[in-house]
Amino acid sequence: MARILAGSWRSATTHRVPGSDELTNLLPYLLASGTAPLAWWHIRHTPLRHTPAAQELQDAYRETSAFGLAREPTIETIFVLLRGAGIEPILLKGWAIARLYPEPGLRPLGDIDLYVAPGEEYRVEAALQTPGRGPFEVDLTHDLSGLLQGRSMTEVAARSELVPLGTSEIRVLNAEDQLAYLCIHFLKHGGWRPLWLCDVAIALESRPSDFDWDLCLGGDRTRADWIACTIGLAHVLLGADVRGTPVANRAERLPFWLVPAVLKAWERPRAFDHPVPELMVESLRHPQQWPAALKSRWMSPLESTVRVGGSINRVPRLPYQVANYALQLAQFLPRLVHVFGQSSGQRDTAPRESRL
């Protein structure tokens, strides 16, 4: 997977292309992980393009391109409606990243992820319920503090950028916040989706000449190292060019466990391999679900490290995984008391961060 995606986001092929058999074997993973368009882009000018597997990749590339093309007017419409209601959202991921690729269709789009200021969710909902429009697949985020730690959202919004889309302008994070956001997002989800690392690579290589690394890395040393390590992963696994960056040295000295941990996560690159488990309070009502419920809370080394705010270093990860498990338990127990103290008709409404 890493071999075929290496350098795939570039306009010209710069890395070795796989053999025909290798491509055939990888096809299900490429299709399922949303990286088939990039794989097609990588091999499109090679003899492999005439193989049956390549035709599947090309079909996926066309479908992704067509879906993206169909989705763009929707994004415009959403911004027009929200601005009409006095709301200025920031588009996260999706098209905000796809626009950086040589063709937007190389990067599949999903839900439309928007950041809006806290307290504006209800107004957004009202603004988008315009008769004859929608429904819109909007994914609202009101709190980026977990991904942009130590940063004032007011400042982040103030330095966000407007980029053209059709006849509109869409607000996106600036290049520095974008790269930081992509790196932390990748880590926070355990890095299971290869496409996210491609996003990091394209954001890195398309950065403007005046890119402010101090702004991207921030003042928190742990968090800065998380970003550096993620860029290092993009370098080691995908061949991202780190020359001339302050993270180049770190990219060459990743902890022994990090690359294998990500490659293991890539063995299950589909979204439905990573479902959000049922709320624990619900699982508790069904004893037969307990083993699966408890197992699902045991997270990967990478995810555990980030969730407990740990450093990505050479220390074995088991303590972090145990700590993360204990942390979830500590968050859950008071909630359990609270929930069972309420009337039986009420349900737990805990956010995902405390789903144990």
Partner 1 sequence: MKDGTEMLAPRARSAGLVVRDLDEELLIYDLQRESAYALNRLAGLVWKHCDGTTTVGEMPDLLTATLGDQVSLEMVWQAVSRLSDDGLLEEQANQTAVRVMTRRAMMQKVALAGSVALITSIAVPASAALAACIANSCRAGCTIGVNCTGSGPRGTACTLCGGPASGSCRGTCCDIGGYFNSVDEDCSGGCCPGYECKLVAHGGHRSCSQRAGG
- Smallest gap, in angstroms, from Cβ of residue 114 to partner 1? 10
- Smallest gap, in angstroms, from Cβ of residue 337 to partner 1? 18
Give residues with Cβ within 8 angstroms of 321, minimum separation 6: 298, 299, 300, 301, 304
- Smallest gap, in angstroms, from Cβ of residue 88 to partner 1? 18
Of 254 and 306, nearer to partner 1 (C-beta) is 306
Query: What tokens appear for 51 in the block?
Result: 């193989």
C-alpha to C-alpha distance for 346 and 343, rounded to whole angstroms: 6
The DSSP line for 173-213 is --HHHHHHHHHHHHHHTTT--HHHHHHHHHHHHT--TT--H
154 binds partner 1 (CB under 8 A): no
221 binds partner 1 (CB under 8 A): no
CB atoms within 10 A of CB 30: 24
271 binds partner 1 (CB under 8 A): yes
- Smallest gap, in angstroms, from Cβ of residue 3 to partner 1? 20
Of 193 and 223, nearer to partner 1 (C-beta) is 193
105 binds partner 1 (CB under 8 A): yes
Q: Going by DSSP bridges, is the β-strand pair 112-115/138-141 parallel, antiparallel, or unpaired?
A: parallel
- Smallest gap, in angstroms, from Cβ of residue 270 to partner 1? 5
69 binds partner 1 (CB under 8 A): yes
- Smallest gap, in angstroms, from Cβ of residue 171 to partner 1? 19
Yes or no: say if 299 and 306 are a contact pair by the CB < 8 Å rule. Answer: no
Of 144 and 247, nearer to partner 1 (C-beta) is 144
C-alpha to C-alpha distance for 348 and 342, rounded to whole angstroms: 10
70 binds partner 1 (CB under 8 A): yes
To which H or E segment does residue 250 belong?
Answer: helix 248-251
CA-closest candidate to residue 26, choices 51, 53, 66, 52: 53
* Binding test (CB under 8 A) with partner 1, winner from 12, 50, 122, 167: 122
HSE toward the beta carbon, residue 192, CA cutoff 13 A:
18
- Smallest gap, in angstroms, from Cβ of residue 306 to partner 1? 14
C-alpha to C-alpha distance for 49 and 67, rounded to whole angstroms: 22
289 binds partner 1 (CB under 8 A): no
Of 64 and 160, nearer to partner 1 (C-beta) is 64
* Binding test (CB under 8 A) with partner 1, winner from 75, 96, 109, 262: 109
Q: Which of residues 2-61 bind partner 1 (CB under 8 A)?
A: 28, 31-32, 34, 36, 41, 44, 56, 59-60
CA-closest candidate to residue 18, choices 27, 232, 10: 27
CA-closest candidate to residue 224, choices 233, 216, 234: 216
- Smallest gap, in angstroms, from Cβ of residue 205 to partner 1? 19
176 binds partner 1 (CB under 8 A): no
Query: What tokens appear for 243 in the block?
Result: 């020359």
What is the binding site for partner 1 (CB under 8 A)? 28, 31-32, 34, 36, 41, 44, 56, 59-60, 62-67, 69-73, 102-105, 108-111, 113, 118-119, 121-122, 125, 128-129, 134-143, 270-272, 274-276, 278-279, 347-353
